[in-house]
Chains A and B, each alone.
Chain A
Amino acid sequence: MKKFIIVSLLLSGLTTMAQDSTSTYKKRVLETAEVDFLMSYYTQDGSNAAVSGGIGTEELTDITPTLVVSIPLNDDDVLTIDFGISAYTSASSSNVNPFDAGGPADPFVASSGASSGDVWGNLTGSYSHSSDDRNDIWSLKVSVSTEYDYFSVGVGGSYSKLFNEKNTELSISANVYIDSWSLIYPIEFRGSSGGDDEDDFNINNYTITGNPNYNPGFVPLDGKGRNSYSVGFGFSQILSERMQGSLALDLVKQEGQLSTPFQRVYFSDVADSFIENFHLGDDIERLPDTRFKVAIGGRLNYYINEIFVLRTYYRYYFDDWGINSHTASIEIPVKLSDKFTVYPTYRYYSQTAADYFAPYNQHLSTSQFYTSDYDLSNYAANQYGLGITYTDIFTKFRIWKLGLKSIDLKFDQYERDSGLMYSLISGGFYFVLD
């Protein structure tokens, strides 16, 4: 009986696919070149910095100007170039070396050294090809990103198949990222550590309080590489003239250096040593060299009327580090006029802690793996947002040969029940080239 059900389901699905042989007018995939100027401003605060082992300031600001240019190469092919930078200052990162500020070293006070800020740069090129009937879409992507202590190269591809008169879409994608660390250790572990950021810091020039016989016996990491391999499956379906939804499944395998070399850990069974107000690290974060992640998500959008649309999303995630997570979000775009739409959003997120997480000074030195990074802790978070979209289908406003098609602005406020919070302002100006 079970076999019969499966065969009948398969046959009916294939019949659906076979229905789609209608030839249609061939419209250009992209009528004209598009230029998008995107920008965000991010500011964060909290008191559980991973760099100082789960205590300390998490103040961070980040600004991300981005340019995306999409060029139609012919009726079927589109080339997209995406270039962006992320310039940030981070109080917690500054405490990789907390001893270069004017005042006493303290995990709740930002330092002023080289690690207090950085610029991340990214360049991504993607190419897509659509079949004449627009039912088959192939795409390829290559990306490079770099910052002071990290370099990443990624390649990926995807294939989408539309059928059932474009009511149904199946897609598959695959991505590979080959990353490499420069091993930057907390300042007290440098010297003979073999790291990439030797410094002239000499611990003998300081007075150590608490346990004066500070001797962490630090063992440097033995690898710099981190590889990520992902496969994604997508299914989307029109359910009625007012409703459509999608399902997505992502499988991700990571291997290599998955811990962050400059994040400290403190052990409860090791006597504490301090310089000024700063607790000297007992070790750095140690994590397994493999991780397998599974994420399953679904969207459902419903057109209520000419004014309101309902957009919903849910995701379940789990991995082999012991983390389970739920994400749910809702967005209700409200059309104020033919040009302006506002969209309030709400998002709930929760996760369980990784097996290797413990708060400040609660790990045991006998453990094999440990972290006090609160991004791997048990918590729930709420995010509230409000966005506004301006659209001008006639592109009346012009700069040089660029006509303004639309503007998006959004504000988001994120609050974790463990204390971390961030604010994000995002903006996008979308132009078409004459």
Chain B
Amino acid sequence: MKKLSLLILLALNLSSCVVVREYEKVKLNDPDMALSDKKIKRFELNAQAYREAAAGANGGKTGGGCGCN
């Protein structure tokens, strides 16, 4: 837990080093650069959640449903 706290603090600290202004975000605003998934990705995540033990930390759901088919 202490390591995680340090990691978050370090990440916050690093964030202060770089400031990309709004007018400099042309490349970052490209739809393919989005940190979220495309909407159709839900089907892929759903299939993986059913067939795999691991879930979470990917924008998919972390509970609900039996996943038994």
Chain A positions near chain B (C-beta within 8 angstroms): 6, 9-10, 12-13, 15-16, 19, 24, 36, 38, 40, 42, 44, 50, 60, 62, 64, 66, 68, 88, 90, 92-93, 120, 143, 145, 147, 149-150, 152, 154, 164-168, 175, 177, 179, 181, 226, 228-230, 232, 235-242, 244-250, 252, 254, 260, 262-263, 293, 295-297, 299, 301, 303, 309, 311, 313, 315, 317, 319, 321, 323, 325, 327, 333, 335, 341, 343, 349, 351, 354, 375-376, 381, 385, 387, 389, 391, 408, 410, 412, 414, 416, 420, 422, 424, 426-428, 430
Contact = CB atoms under 8 A, between A and B. Distances in A.
Given A168-B12, A240-B18, A309-B32, A152 B39 contact: no
Interface of B: 4, 6, 8-16, 18-22, 24-28, 30-35, 38-44, 47-48, 50-59, 61-69
A167 B68 CA distance: 41
Contacts of A301: 32-35
A297 B57 CA distance: 5
A204 B38 CA distance: 55
21 contacts: A19-B19, A179-B63, A179-B65, A181-B66, A229-B63, A241-B28, A244-B28, A254-B63, A263-B68, A301-B35, A313-B58, A315-B56, A317-B55, A323-B53, A327-B54, A327-B58, A408-B39, A412-B44, A426-B41, A428-B39, A428-B40
B54 A420 contact: no
Nearest to B8: A235
Contacts of A262: 68
Contacts of A296: 57
B25 to A, nearest CB: 7
Given A13-B15, A88-B69, A36 B43 contact: no
Given A168-B12, A177-B63, A303-B27, A246 B35 contact: yes
Q: Is the interface of B mostly helix, strand, loop or mixed?
A: loop
A233 to B, nearest CB: 8
B66 A179 contact: yes
A250 B62 CA distance: 8
Given A38-B43, A177-B64, A335-B32, 15 more contacts: A19-B19, A62-B69, A92-B69, A143-B64, A164-B15, A165-B19, A250-B57, A301-B32, A301-B34, A313-B58, A317-B56, A375-B50, A375-B67, A424-B43, A428-B39
